[in-house]
């Protein structure tokens, strides 16, 4: 994502952030995806989102309502995809660019990152999962000097939310009432200028966070009680811009690499036998040059989100996006 991310900052500051799949990719890597969805739209392995210029970045599956929830980097709204039909679920005037989202099933709420790539605002909002009613809206920009781009969020067993900042080596935490603080800060985790660092995040119930670091192609294991003792997960394959992650169970992790829009974009499935000190490759699902952003799980099956960011970057228009079964 290095080159595309730099292009975002330099040339598309008025637009926003982040993904898609195919079995047959043309030279452009994107046109064939639209063709594929048109010919296979009845295939349950490909769920189309027919909403012009939505550019979704985050996705979650809501098992109670049997629906996918998706963010929008251009609208800020939270949409729902149910029975193959898209509709708006949350329209909050404070949501300008919704990025990562996370369902807190224990508390029946949805956590939403609201952030702009120019670093001018970063916030975490929480909503009732059933009604979409807002529970809190917490500004995170004031917790640090300089620009901030909050990217993804997870929650622990106590209802504490953890938020990554891609422009700084910082993870914030926000309690159940919406009170924010800095959980951990390390300059070594900050990205170089024009790049993104900390990105996807998930919580392991054994007491630590798993976090992707996009620029350095790493997955980090961060103990909640001693975050300074974080370590790199030893992974046996190359990653290409790890973006969204999803802990399917304590010993199985899904990692989406976007490859900055390149041909090496992939969804990796890793397993562990030592609590994420190291990982074993279980599966790889290539998405090619489609800029996938993140992944969720429905009934034990992973679904990856395709957001078509290269089209947004080029100033083009896109009528359809896809949620694709990644197996």
Mean pLDDT of 174-184: 98
Mean pLDDT in the chain? 88
Chain centroid offset of residue 10 CA? 22
Q: Does the pTM exceed 0.85?
A: yes
Write the DSSP assignment of 53-82 as a string of letters.
T-----EEEETTTTEEEE--TTT--EEEEE
Mean pLDDT of 229-235: 98
What CA–CA distances, in Å, run from 157 to 54, 105, 205, 206? 32, 10, 7, 10
Q: Is the alpha carbon torsion for 60, 318, 95, 57 positive or negative? A: positive
pLDDT band at 186 (very low <50, low <70, confident <90, very high): very high
Tracing tokens 């996009």 back to the chain, one arrives at: 214
Phi, psi torsion values for 66, nearest 5 degrees? 50, 60
Question: Looking at the predicted structure, is the pLDDT value of residue 80 above 60?
Answer: yes
Mean pLDDT of 55-83: 97
């Amino acid at each position: 994502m290095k080159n595309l991310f730099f292009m975002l900052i330099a040339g598309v500051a008025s637009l926003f952030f982040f993904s898609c799949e195919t079995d047959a990719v043309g030279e452009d890597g994107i046109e064939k995806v639209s063709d594929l969805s048109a010919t296979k739209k009845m295939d349950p392995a490909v769920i189309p989102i027919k909403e012009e210029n939505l550019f979704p970045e985050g996705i979650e599956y809501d098992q109670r309502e049997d629906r996918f929830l998706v963010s929008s980097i251009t609208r800020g709204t939270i949409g729902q995809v149910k029975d193959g039909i898209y509709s708006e679920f949350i329209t909050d005037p404070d949501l300008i660019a919704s990025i990562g989202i996370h369902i807190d099933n224990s508390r029946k709420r949805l956590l939403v990152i609201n952030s702009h790539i120019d670093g001018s605002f970063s916030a975490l909002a929480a909503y009732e999962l059933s009604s979409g009613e807002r529970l809190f809206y917490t500004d995170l920009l004031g917790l640090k000097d300089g620009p901030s781009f909050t990217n993804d969020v997870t929650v622990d067993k106590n209802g504490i939310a953890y938020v990554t900042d891609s422009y700084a080596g910082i993870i914030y935490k926000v309690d159940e009432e919406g009170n924010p603080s800095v959980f951990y800060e390390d300059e070594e985790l900050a990205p170089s200028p024009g790049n993104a660092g900390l990105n996807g995040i998930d919580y392991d119930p054994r007491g630590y966070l798993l976090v992707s670091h996009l620029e350095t192609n790493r997955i980090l294991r961060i103990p909640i009680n001693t975050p300074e003792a974080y370590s790199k997960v030893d992974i046996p394959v190359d990653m290409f811009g790890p973006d969204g992650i999803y802990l399917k169970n304590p010993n199985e992790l899904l990692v989406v690499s976007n490859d900055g829009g390149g041909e090496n974009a992939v969804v990796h499935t890793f397993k562990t036998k030592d609590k994420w000190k190291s990982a074993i490759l279980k599966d790889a699902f290539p998405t090619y040059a489609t800029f996938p952003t993140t992944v969720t799980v429905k009934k034990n099956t992973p679904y990856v989100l395709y957001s078509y960011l290269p089209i947004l970057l080029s100033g083009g228009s896109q009528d359809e996006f896809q949620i694709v079964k990644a197996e």
